[in-house]
Amino acid sequence: PVPRCPRPSEAIFGILRELGGPGGRSVPLPHALQVLGARGFTPGQVSAALAEYEGLNVLQVNPGRSTVTFV
């Protein structure tokens, strides 16, 4: 059986967590966008996921949009 596909934002968040590594507090956004794009996510999906998780206070994107930090 095929595992249930998570919503794009859940999958994106999981990948960001992986990129942060164990105990990782932040991820460079350009690198994250490159990896997520290579895995088939659109910029719109990534933006929506970042906005969703920022709204939940799980992560923050800095004003220059260069770093994603886990709260």
Domain ranges of the chain: 8-70
| Prediction pTM value | 0.87
Q: What pLDDT score does 47 carry? A: 96
CB of 58 closer than 8 Å to CB of 40: no
Q: Encode pLDDT of 7-60 as tens digits.
A: 999 999 999 999 998 888 999 999 999 999 999 999 999 999 999 999 999 999
What is the CATH number that goes with domain 8-70?
1.10.10
